[in-house]
A and B are shown apart, each in its own frame.
Chain A
Amino acid sequence: MSVMKRVSMIFRAKANKALDRMEDPRETLDYSYQTQLELLQKVRRGVADVATSRKRVELQMNSLEQSSTKLDRQAREALSAGREDLARDALSRKSGVQGQLTDLQTQYTSLQGEEEKLTAASQRLQAKVDAFRTRKETIKATYTAAEAQTRINEAFTGISEEMGDVGMAIQRAEDKTEQMKARAGAIDELMASGALDDVVSGPRDDIQAELDRMGAGHDVDSELARMKAELGQGSAPRELEGSAEPAQAQQAPASAAQPADHQQAGEGQ
């Protein structure tokens, strides 16, 4: 038998089974209405959950985008300083970040779709629940056994099909958000543990450290030289070992601007 027909028969069978369990038809109406209201709450919570998950993915995407921009800038800085090795390193990390971004983009789109579907489902269910409430009151007012039973069955079967559909849609959305939560949680944990520091901007950013060393090295050395000069001139020379002097002069050629520095460097240390 056809798939479409079988599915619709299964839905009907479920509704009929539920109807058979009820003894008083009016009780069926009230009980079903309660269940409908509960399902409406559930579908609204579902929409909120999906939205939360989507926002979390959005935040992670923002931070990865920042990271990508930063790595790009670092690659440029490294290149202009003649450090192609460092630039290559930065660009390869950037490509890793871009890969993660693409993955998150797919997740984001999927969550967005889920959110739209659930929102629409919630509106449909709301309209049907309102219609059911009206029908329920009409049926109760004109209650004459056999006729009422037929009308109750119709209304009940119609709404329970919708409820079954919405129930499954909520389940699908929940499954999807659970998966997303697990993945987003894993990325957050990696970031927190520092394992992703190499990829995502963090305290142990060795490319930046290298660039800083290259850039700031000059400043520190020249400032040191200036301070030493000041101290050397301003206070009495102290007797300290000057053993570090040759090495220091080698490491910081920029500071060896004035000949007087050499003499005072060892003393003022």
Chain B
Amino acid sequence: MIVRILGEGQLEVDDSAVAELNALDSQLEAAVDRNDEAEFSAALDTLLSRVRALGRTVEDSALDPSDLILPQEGATTAEVRKLLADDGLIPG
């Protein structure tokens, strides 16, 4: 499974890690919904450091789309909401 951390690039993560990452992702989602900046920031930090620890860097020249994409380090709930909006942050 390929996971992208925005601003950092792609990592290959074993499928066995999906359950753990999903649980962390639920916390992230709940924090966005509640607009809880502190909890969001903590959840994102945990999620990012788990992905970095579990993942192996994908070669720069690979052209594979990611299965999961994570917000960049230091992102805010407002930025994530914009990212999730249809005509939000993503250019193109």
Interface residues of A (CB under 8 A from B): 2-8, 10-12, 14-15, 18, 117, 120-121, 123-124, 126-128, 130-132, 135, 154-155, 157-161, 163-165, 167-169, 171-172
* 10 contacting pairs across A/B (C-beta < 8 A): A2-B29, A3-B80, A8-B65, A10-B88, A14-B92, A15-B65, A135-B63, A154-B65, A155-B63, A164-B90
Neighbouring A residues of B70 by C-beta, 8 Å:
3-4, 7
Contact bitstring B25-60, A, C-beta under 8 A = 1, else 0: 110110010000000000000000000000000011
Which residues does B use to contact A, with CB under 8 Å? 3-4, 6-9, 21-22, 25-26, 28-29, 32, 59-72, 80, 83-84, 86, 88-92
Chain B proximity of A119: nearest CB distance (Å): 12
Q: Is the CB of B65 within 8 A of A168?
A: no
Contact, CB under 8 Å: A4 / B25 = yes
Contacting residues, chain A, for B4 (C-beta < 8 A): 8, 161, 165
Chain A residues in 8 Å Cβ range of B6: 165, 168-169
Given contacts A121-B7, A127-B61, A130-B61, 6 further A-B contacts (CB under 8 A): A2-B25, A18-B92, A127-B60, A161-B65, A165-B4, A171-B89
Question: In whole angstroms, what is the CA distance A112 to B49 when docked?
Answer: 21
- What is the distance, in angstroms, from A46's C-beta to the closest C-beta of chain B? 13
Q: In the bound complex, do residue A169 and residue B7 qualify as a contact, i.e. CB atoms below 8 Å apart?
A: yes
Are A11 and B21 touching (Cβ within 8 A)?
Answer: no
Q: How far in angstroms is the closest Cβ of chain A from B46?
A: 13
Complexed CA–CA distance, A168 and B88 (Å):
11
CB distance from B9 to the nearest CB of A (A): 5
| Interface pair B83/A7, CB less than 8 Å apart | yes
Residue of B nearest to A1 (CB): B29
Of B8, B29, B60, B66, which is within 8 A of A161 by CB?
B66
The verdict on A131 contacting B68 (CB below 8 Å), with A164-B91, A165-B6, A168-B6 known, is: no
Question: Which chain B residue has the least Cβ–Cβ distance from A17?
Answer: B92
Q: Which of A14, A123, A126 has the most chain B CB within a 10 Å cutoff?
A: A14
Q: Which A-B residue pairs are the 6 nearest by beta carbons?
A: A127-B60, A158-B63, A4-B68, A167-B91, A131-B61, A7-B69
